[in-house]
Chain A
């Protein structure tokens, strides 16, 4: 289990102004974060640019040490037992860097495998397995500089799995991938977690991805965790449930009165506007009151032109939350 307790990270950089005059600048990237990740679980880390997600991931993967607080992975401290932690974690970042472009895909994997002390037929088998998993068997012996962006990203994924890590950190792994490649990647991630029991921390700006994959989500803002829940609950709690849209040709007094009563009863919100079909009634409520609303319309002798339910997205939740925070 990954345990992050009261972790702070302040970057201290020297900033040179002119010749030998310099000042130190401090950036508080992470402020008092607590979080945990169990094996067999995908945890999402969400937040705007600069929220501190990458910093947090780098601390968990031993590349950065916390300014204060502790991070342990299966009981081992990421600072004191860094070498032991390194052999059971790995990190994959989005983008096209972090590979040797003049080497082939296979040579890249061989090199990184060697860094983890893997060699011989064990390494060979592992590489073949990973290449087929990410669909790069045919391109295995082509130099990486001739790969497309998606192929490089897939090689990146294979690289991150070379040491068969127990915990994997994915920092925007689907950055710039096309829809079908991103989908295959998501399926692969799910397989890693559910079949192999790995623990995964995922950051992404694609909210559907987080919604689809993550068991739990942490939302970070300015280095703090401002919310932690399942994706479903987050959406529900922040956006106050579904929006029911109904189009009717007219609103008579009876309907008006009945609707108002219903709205008050369920503590819902109502908005009325008109569109090309007729009059649009949007009702936002925590509880699903579709049946009651339809009943009311029917009882008021009004025809129903159309009805559709708008489910709020995590995206809406985040925007709302960040507006609230700001």
Chain B
């Protein structure tokens, strides 16, 4: 446990000095998601959700603001981890990836340490913005005081697990960047960031439930916007936990496979 904490702090410090060394970066990490949010907000505005529109069954007109804010908060969490996975490429090119694998450190700890560190650095500013936004112009119903910390906790855990998974894929292939570009749009579309999952066709729903983000957003919105009780969301929470465990197992399998592979053809050193 102490070792885990050491690795986490080490990755945190490293990524802080490597990637978050200028205020410019924080600035863009705030401005970019805000632009995303407003562009989504105003593209929904022209549609009249009061009438027979399918959207109106799930999101009322006043709810759109907080619906989108929560959606984008989740998305930004997940997106910032995609960034951290992209940093695997320079790590490989520098040769430092090989040095990490030369050491006896727990590979899973490094992967999750990286994810956690990048997450915290990447999202705190937008997180503050969201919280303020939800309070000032969102229509939120925090009936249960534990609702917000619990949903935030689930969001963080699931995002870190997701980030670990992406990092591990980058270990496996130096050309994983392609995969990420491909996965980014479906993540935005199918995990209910902008569009509620129930309006998706059946095959779309199927894809939705492959992303842990879908479960988190459902839980988050139920608790924060509708004031649902713990009991009402418990099935969703259990499903999320199952998905998280599957992702952790998959990640650990990928890491082992990747290391074994690299020992055969020396691919950790190739770039």
Chain A: which residue is nearest B266 at the CB level? A64
Given known pairs A58-B266, A117-B3, the reply for A103 and B14 (CB within 8 Å) is yes
B104 A87 Cβ-Cβ under 8 A: yes
CB neighbours (8 Å) of B103 from chain A are: 86, 112, 115-116, 163
Q: List 22 A-B contacts (CB under 8 A).
A: A11-B265, A13-B265, A55-B266, A62-B263, A63-B101, A63-B263, A64-B264, A64-B266, A65-B263, A65-B264, A86-B103, A87-B104, A91-B102, A97-B94, A97-B95, A98-B94, A100-B14, A100-B17, A102-B18, A115-B99, A115-B103, A117-B3
- Give bound CA distance, A62 to B266, whole Å: 11
* Interface size class, chain A: 35 or more
Given known pairs A102-B18, A116-B104, A119-B6, the reply for A63 and B13 (CB within 8 Å) is no
Chain A: which residue is nearest B99 at the CB level? A98
Name the residue in B9, B13, B103, B262 with the highest tally of chain A Cβ atoms < 10 Å from its Cβ: B103
> What's the A-B contact tally at a CB cutoff of 8 Å?
87
Which parts of B75-103 form the interface with A (CB within 8 Å)? 94-96, 98-103
Choose one: B21, B94, B104, B268; the contact of A63 (CB below 8 Å): B268
Given contacts A97-B94, A98-B95, 6 further A-B contacts (CB under 8 A): A65-B260, A83-B104, A100-B94, A111-B14, A112-B99, A115-B7
Chain A residues with CB under 8 Å of chain B are 11-13, 55, 58, 61-65, 79, 83-84, 86-87, 90-91, 93, 97-103, 107, 110-112, 114-117, 119, 159, 163
- Give bound CA distance, A64 to B267, whole Å: 10
A97 to chain B, nearest CB (A): 4
Chain B: which residue is nearest A12 at the CB level? B265
Choose one: A61, A62, A93, A114; the contact of B10 (CB below 8 Å): A114
B95 A11 Cβ-Cβ under 8 A: no
CB neighbours (8 Å) of A91 from chain B are: 102
Choose one: A98, A107, A114; the contact of B9 (CB below 8 Å): A114
Chain A: which residue is nearest B100 at the CB level? A115
CB neighbours (8 Å) of A58 from chain B are: 266
Task: Tell yes or no: B105 within 8 A of A by CB.
Answer: yes
- Give bound CA distance, A22 to B260, whole Å: 22
CB neighbours (8 Å) of B99 from chain A are: 98, 112, 115, 159
CB neighbours (8 Å) of B14 from chain A are: 100, 103, 107, 111
CB neighbours (8 Å) of A163 from chain B are: 103
How many chain-B residues does the 8 Å CB contact rule pick out?
30
B13 A107 Cβ-Cβ under 8 A: yes
A63 B98 Cβ-Cβ under 8 A: yes
B92 to chain A, nearest CB (A): 11
- Give bound CA distance, A58 to B98, whole Å: 10
CB neighbours (8 Å) of B95 from chain A are: 93, 97-98
B17 A103 Cβ-Cβ under 8 A: yes
CB neighbours (8 Å) of A62 from chain B are: 102, 263
CB neighbours (8 Å) of B262 from chain A are: 63
B256 to chain A, nearest CB (A): 12
A107 B17 Cβ-Cβ under 8 A: yes
Chain A: which residue is nearest B18 at the CB level? A102
- Give bound CA distance, A111 to B94, whole Å: 15
- Give bound CA distance, A115 to B7, whole Å: 7
Chain A: which residue is nearest B7 at the CB level? A114
CB neighbours (8 Å) of A110 from chain B are: 10, 13
B219 to chain A, nearest CB (A): 35
Chain B: which residue is nearest A11 at the CB level? B265
CB neighbours (8 Å) of A13 from chain B are: 265
A100 to chain B, nearest CB (A): 6
CB neighbours (8 Å) of B94 from chain A are: 97-101
- Give bound CA distance, A61 to B265, whole Å: 15
CB neighbours (8 Å) of B18 from chain A are: 100, 102-103
- Give bound CA distance, A115 to B266, whole Å: 21
- Give bound CA distance, A188 to B21, whole Å: 36
Chain B: which residue is nearest A13 at the CB level? B265
Chain A: which residue is nearest B97 at the CB level? A98
- Give bound CA distance, A163 to B265, whole Å: 27
Which parts of B241-271 form the interface with A (CB within 8 Å)? 260, 262-266, 268-269
B268 to chain A, nearest CB (A): 7
A68 to chain B, nearest CB (A): 12
B228 to chain A, nearest CB (A): 42
A149 to chain B, nearest CB (A): 15
Which parts of B100-148 form the interface with A (CB within 8 Å)? 100-105, 110
Chain A: which residue is nearest B101 at the CB level? A63
- Give bound CA distance, A102 to B100, whole Å: 17
B102 A61 Cβ-Cβ under 8 A: yes
